[in-house]
């Protein structure tokens, strides 16, 4: 192609040949990238040049594909030739060589040829997915932050740029963005928190990585202690405090709260002020020329100290030593008077004294005669009613209808009943509304009124205390009156009392609406006694047989308080916590011959002596008073403390609660942990896990379970118990092992924390921690994960979650495990484990004294309830009270075997005594044998 030259070309060659130079390239082809489908243009320009052709991948490019131009250089007169070709994307893709696609230029002159450089051609691209996306970090302040980024593969290689909150991040002394595409922050600042994005770009496109959230947090630090406060008492032993705050620095962005106590207390002794007191007067001085004498005293008995008051009065006392008979010239009279005047003055003085004595005697005689005269004629003036004791009967009159306290006074009396009984006053419905609407002052003028109601409807009023009197007072607002559920507006007093001497009590004022409705249960009990149970709360009440008089019934109730008033129960100075629910039993006018047995569940770990546990009762003015300490002995009530509940023998109705004061940081409170799950109503792919931390009492868990039942939650695992120590350390909850490719969790919620004070006082409100999850695909129907609950430097519990998030595949897990949670009251024999006949036989045996003293003491010892025996000693039947406590202690799982074993041991002990105890031994042996019979035989005997 290049061997033959035309004549014109030959002449040109001769012209060029005269220059004596080879072709020199003024422009060589450059390396290029093919973007998308756009072709690449390659240019070559040389002088002097006869011809220029491209050669690609070792092969000549056809002349038809060349575009040539030629012009003469004005300075040298030499010919300049320029050649251009187009290279398409298809040509590059079809080339399969050991190296990249390349092209060069070859230029001819008469002296020879010259070659240009090789130009490499490549197809430009940038992949979509990053080889490594940056990951979010939570770092403490001044910590190092390293965010890794590996851009996607591309030609040419992509350049990386970092964005923070969509703004470019520049490099400085603290931030380095050029370290192999990574972002390095040497010392994190609060301002470094934000959303970071890695941006990769080349000539083809730009790609963005996933956003990495960086949180710079600050852990809390304690400030300096404040100065000790002044002693809180003016005199004697008191307490002073100092405090510090978690503000140096304050926790930010999820940083941990300060560990330790924010308040320290220390005992102090304030010096009591001593008021000053006068000492004894000194002797009078000798009369001076002024006819005066003096004496003095000092404020030294005692001296005023520590701010005490100084003595009131004069320090110096002055007196005229002559009685005012001093002469004008300041001389004494006996010094100036002559002898005659002295004698006459003495006679006048003695005469005056004699006249005074006679006058006094006459007055005394006159007064005596007057009093004797009045005593003879004034006896009939004395009120003879004072001798009657104040108990005079009168009848209700039909005409006397003005007094609202005289209910249904026009009704005819029932003369068929001759016995006397007592009962609270019951109002009809119309009268109830009238009295309730009135102010409480209606009852204020009669705070100590005593009313005795006879069967003949005769009422006596008086001021002395009688066993059959009823003190009218404001009833407890949560009293359950017998027979108030039906409408008794048209029934008289006889109908209200049911004709069987039933006793009821009506609260005069309706209680204010609490934040949560109280749990209540009620039942009507008679002479046979029975049991009240609040289901699934660990709270019950045992009314012993014979506690209520024969042919008398009481409507009794129990209430578990659910409002937020428990803070008034606790003493801040003692740092007390509530260990049980507040339980009320009544009515307030209850009249029983023996104590009732109440069982209350608690959440204290009482294995070690780290608690001071007390029983408290609410007074009529809504204040709480301490009834007894569990460790001490008392004659007012009895407390049997067990691992999970407390059995109380009580004689007075009212509201009771167990409170505890931690004696050391080793005091342990039991928490019950439960996890519930339910679908998210706002997100079809969402699922919510709720973890509860409540006091380990059945009542507290029932409250949570009831709320979850309404909410549609499902219990995902059996609840577990966590021992929480009173060491001021917080409680941490975290979710683990969530399938990353199936589920996502809301950021910054994987680890949550409750402060110590929230957990320690968790009886106020159940603690709830929520984890919100979302599945990536509707096909993911199973969720498996673990939830860790641990106290800092304490015990840890793992809650294993494995559930189906599809409603049709969920397994129903019951909230309660009790076989029967609907029975609230039992009357008569079915409420007791000990049959009545055996109970009477035991009481008759052990209430009788013998040579060894009261045998009931040995019975209490064998039944392991021999503490505080002084309480049983004051009971009419100590054995009956001991058996009532045994009934309360064994109401759920106990049987008669333990009682039978105790009686058998007592029988063996008595068999070694003298013959006088043989009768008691034989009775004990017969009772033990009876206890060994089947339950069916015992029930038949009782029936």
Q: What is the pLDDT of residue 85?
A: 93
| Position 783 in a domain | yes
Please check whether residues 702 and 791 belong to one and the same domain. yes
Mean pLDDT computed over 471-481: 36
Q: How many helices (H) and strands (E) does the chain have?
A: 15, 53
* pLDDT for residue 102: 93
pLDDT tens, 18-61?
Answer: 446 889 899 999 999 998 888 989 999 998 888 899 999 989 99
**DSSP result, 892-931:** SS--HHHHHHHHHHHHHHHTTS-GGGHHHHHHHHHHHHHH
Q: Which residue has the higher pLDDT, 734 or 336?
A: 734
| Chosen domain end from 173, 190, 217 | 217
| pLDDT tens string 616-625 | 998 888 888 8
Give the CATH number, domain containing residue 678: 2.60.40.2660
Same domain, 37 and 142: no
Domain harbouring 183, CATH code: 2.60.40.10
Sheet strands (E) in 792-869: 796-804, 825-827, 849-850, 853-854
SS3 57: coil
Burial code (b: 16+ CB inside 10 Å, e: under 16) for 667-680 equals bbbbbbbbbbbbbe
The pLDDT assigned to 833 comes to 85
In a domain, 73, yes or no: yes
498-525: pLDDT as tens digits: 333 343 333 333 333 345 556 889 999 9
Q: What is the pLDDT of residues 521-578, one digit of tens each?
A: 999 999 899 999 988 888 999 999 989 999 899 999 999 987 765 556 777 667 788 8
473 lies in a domain? no
**Range scoring the smallest mean pLDDT among 85-89, 670-674, 830-834:** 830-834
Q: So what's the pLDDT on residue 931?
A: 60
Q: Which residue has the higher pLDDT, 912 or 115?
A: 115
Q: Is residue 155 pLDDT above 50, yes or no?
A: yes
Cis peptide, bond prior to residue 68, ω within 30 of zero: no
What is the C-alpha to C-alpha distance for residues 288 and 297, in angstroms, rounded to an integer? Answer: 20
Residue 236: exposed, middle, or buried by beta-carbon count in 10 A (0-12, 13-18, 19+)? exposed
- Indicate if 112 and 150 belong to the same structural domain: no
Read off the pLDDT of residues 336-394 as tens digits, 9 standing for 90 and up: 444 444 444 555 566 677 777 778 888 887 777 766 655 443 333 333 333 233 333 33
Nearest Cα to 696, choosing from 612, 771, 797, 784? Answer: 797
> Residue 67's domain spans which residues?
24-123
Confidence bin at 176 (pLDDT 50/70/90):
confident
Q: 28 and 113, same structural domain?
A: yes
User: Which range, of 243-247, 631-635, 785-789, averages the lowest pLDDT?
Assistant: 631-635
Task: Judge whether 520 and 510 are in contact, CB under 8 Å.
Answer: no
The pLDDT score that the predictor gives to residue 14 is 41
Average pLDDT over residues 137-154: 92
Asked whether residue 349 is assigned to any structural domain, the reply reads no
Q: Are 397 and 409 in contact (CB under 8 A)?
A: yes
Task: Give how many domains the chain has, as a whole number.
Answer: 3
pTM above 0.85, yes or no: no
Clarify whether residues 102 and 149 are in a common domain: no
Q: Are residues 165 and 182 in the same domain?
A: yes
Tokens of 19: 């220059």
Same-domain status, 789 and 680: yes
Question: How far apart (Å, rounded) are the C-alpha atoms in residues 634 and 868?
Answer: 7
The last residue of a domain, from among 763, 778, 804: 804
For the segment 68-90, the average pLDDT, to the nearest whole number, is 87
pLDDT-above-90 percentage for the chain? 26
Is residue 689 scored above 70 in pLDDT? Answer: yes
Per-residue pLDDT of 302-336, as tens digits, reads: 889 888 888 988 898 888 887 666 654 444 444 44
| Residues 707 and 745 occupy one common structural domain | yes
Residue 245 reports pLDDT greater than 70: yes
- Whether residue 499 lies inside any domain: the answer is no
Same domain? 688 vs 793: yes
| For residues 436-459, average pLDDT | 33
CA distances to 36, 137, 158, 162, 204 from 151, rounded to whole Å, are: 20, 20, 7, 12, 14
Residue of 636, 558, 640, 650 lying closest to 596 (CA atoms): 650
- Which pLDDT belongs to residue 622? 83
Integer Cα distance of 651 and 593 in angstroms? 9
Which positions ≥6 away from 159 have C-beta within 8 Å? 200, 201, 202
Same domain (yes/no): 109, 133: no
Quick one: tokens of 305?
């100290």
Residue 494: strand, helix, or coil: helix
The residues, ordered by sequence, that sit 6+ positions from 379 with a Cβ below 8 Å of its Cβ are none
Select the more confidently predicted residue: 468 or 754: 754
Mean pLDDT of 641-648: 90
With beta carbons less than 8 A apart as the criterion, state whether 598 and 656 touch. Answer: yes
pLDDT given at position 374: 52
Q: Is 102 found in the same domain as 130?
A: no
Please say if the pLDDT value at position 584 is more than 50: yes
- Do 687 and 781 share a domain, yes or no? yes
Q: Is residue 277 part of a domain?
A: no
Residue 87 has pLDDT above 80, yes or no: yes
The overall average pLDDT reported for the chain is 75
* Strands 731-736 and 714-715, bridge-based pairing: unpaired
Last residue in a domain, options 178, 198, 217: 217
Q: Is residue 742 part of a domain?
A: yes
Q: What is the pLDDT of residue 72?
A: 84
Whether residue 630 is contained in a domain is answered as: no
Q: What is the pLDDT of residue 540?
A: 92
């Amino acid at each position: 192609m290049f061997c033959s030259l035309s004549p014109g070309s030959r002449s040109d060659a001769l012209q060029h040949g005269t220059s004596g130079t080879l072709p020199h390239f003024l422009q060589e082809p450059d390396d290029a990238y093919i973007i998308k489908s756009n072709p690449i243009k390659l240019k070559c320009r040389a002088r002097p040049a006869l011809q220029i052709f491209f050669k690609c991948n070792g092969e000549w490019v056809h002349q038809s594909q060349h575009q040539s131009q030629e012009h003469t250089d004005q300075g040298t007169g030499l010919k300049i030739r320029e050649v251009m070709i187009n290279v398409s994307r298809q040509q590059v893709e079809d080339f399969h060589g050991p190296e990249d696609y390349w092209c060069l230029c070859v230029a001819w002159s008469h002296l020879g040829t010259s070659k240009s450089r090789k130009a490499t051609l490549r197809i430009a691209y940038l992949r979509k997915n990053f080889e490594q996306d940056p990951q979010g970090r939570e770092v403490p302040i001044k910590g190092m932050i390293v965010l890794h980024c590996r851009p996607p593969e591309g030609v040419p290689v992509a350049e990386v740029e970092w964005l923070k909150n969509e703004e470019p991040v520049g490099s400085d002394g603290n931030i380095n963005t050029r370290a192999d595409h990574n972002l390095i922050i040497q010392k994190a600042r609060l301002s470094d928190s934000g959303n970071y994005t890695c941006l990769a770009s080349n000539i083809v496109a730009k790609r963005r990585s996933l956003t990495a959230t960086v949180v710079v947090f600050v852990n809390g630090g304690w400030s300096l202690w404040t100065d000790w406060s002044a002693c809180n008492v003016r005199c004697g032993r008191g307490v002073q405090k100092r405090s510090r705050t978690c503000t140096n620095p304050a926790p930010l962005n999820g940083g941990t709260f300060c560990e330790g106590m924010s308040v320290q207390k220390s005992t102090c002794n304030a010096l009591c002020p001593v008021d000053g007191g006068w000492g004894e007067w000194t002797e009078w001085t000798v009369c001076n020329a002024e006819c005066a004498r003096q004496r003095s005293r000092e404020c030294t008995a005692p001296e005023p100290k520590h701010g005490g008051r100084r003595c009131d009065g004069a320090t110096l006392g002055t007196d005229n030593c002559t009685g005012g008979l001093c002469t004008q010239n300041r001389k004494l009279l006996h010094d100036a008077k002559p002898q005659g005047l002295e004698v006459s003055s003495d006679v006048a003085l003695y005469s005056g004294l004699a006249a005074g004595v006679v006058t006094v005697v006459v007055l005394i005689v006159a007064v005596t005669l007057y009093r004797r005269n009045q005593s003879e004629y004034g006896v009939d003036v004395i009120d003879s009613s004072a001798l009657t004791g104040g108990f005079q009967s009168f009848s209700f009159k039909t005409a006397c209808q003005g007094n609202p306290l005289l209910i249904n006074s026009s009704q005819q009396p029932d003369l068929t009943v001759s016995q006397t009984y007592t009962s609270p006053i019951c109002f009809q419905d119309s009268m109830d509304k009238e009295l309730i609407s009135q102010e409480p002052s209606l009852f204020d003028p009669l705070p100590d009124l005593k009313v005795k109601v006879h069967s003949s409807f005769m009422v006596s009023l008086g001021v002395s205390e009688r066993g059959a009197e009823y003190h009218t007072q404001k009833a407890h607002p949560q009293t359950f009156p017998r027979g108030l559920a039906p409408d008794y507006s048209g029934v008289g007093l006889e109908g209200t009392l049911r004709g069987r001497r039933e006793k009821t009590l009506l609260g005069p004022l309706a209680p204010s609406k609490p934040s949560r409705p109280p749990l209540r249960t009620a039942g009507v009990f008679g002479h046979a006694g029975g049991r009240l149970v609040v289901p699934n709360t660990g709270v019950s009440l045992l009314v012993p047989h014979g506690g209520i008089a024969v042919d008398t019934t009481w409507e009794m109730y129990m209430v578990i308080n659910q409002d937020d008033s428990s803070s008034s129960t606790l003493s801040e100075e003692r740092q007390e916590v509530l260990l049980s629910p507040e339980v009320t039993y009544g009515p307030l006018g209850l009249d029983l011959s023996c104590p009732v047995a109440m069982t209350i569940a608690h959440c204290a770990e009482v294995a070690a002596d780290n608690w001071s546990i007390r029983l408290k009762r609410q007074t009529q003015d809504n204040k709480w008073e301490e009834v007894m300490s569990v460790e001490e002995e008392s004659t007012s009530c009895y407390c049997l403390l067990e691992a999970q509940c407390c059995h109380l023998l009580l004689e007075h109705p009212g509201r009771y609660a167990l409170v505890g004061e931690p004696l050391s940081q080793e005091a342990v409170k039991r928490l019950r942990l439960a996890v519930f799950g339910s679908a998210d109503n706002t997100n079809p792919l969402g699922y919510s896990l709720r973890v509860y931390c409540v006091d380990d009492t059945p009542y507290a868990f029932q409250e949570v379970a009831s709320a979850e039942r309404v909410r549609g939650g499902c219990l995902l695992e059996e609840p577990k118990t966590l021992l929480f120590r009173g060491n001021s350390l917080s409680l941490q909850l975290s979710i683990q092992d969530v399938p990353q490719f199936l589920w996502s969790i809301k950021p910054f919620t994987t680890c949550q924390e409750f402060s110590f004070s929230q957990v320690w006082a968790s009886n106020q409100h159940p603690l709830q921690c929520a984890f919100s999850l979302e599945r990536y695909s509707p096909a993911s129907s199973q969720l498996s994960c673990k939830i860790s609950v641990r106290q800092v430097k304490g015990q840890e519990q793992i809650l294993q979650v494995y559930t189906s998030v599809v409603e049709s595949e969920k397994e129903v897990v019951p909230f309660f495990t009790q076989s029967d949670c609907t029975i609230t009251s039992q009357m008569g024999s079915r409420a007791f484990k000990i049959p009545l006949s055996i109970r009477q036989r035991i009481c008759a045996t052990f209430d009788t004294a013998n040579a060894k003293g009261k045998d009931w003491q040995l019975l209490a010892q064998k039944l392991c309830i021999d503490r505080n025996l002084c309480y049983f000693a004051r009971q009419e039947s100590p054995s009956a009270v001991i058996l009532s406590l045994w009934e309360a202690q064994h109401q759920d799982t106990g049987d008669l075997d333990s009682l039978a074993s105790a009686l058998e041991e007592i029988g063996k002990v008595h068999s070694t005594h003298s013959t006088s105890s043989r009768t008691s031994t034989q009775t004990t042996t017969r009772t033990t044998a009876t206890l060994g019979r089947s339950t069916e035989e015992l029930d038949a005997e009782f029936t």
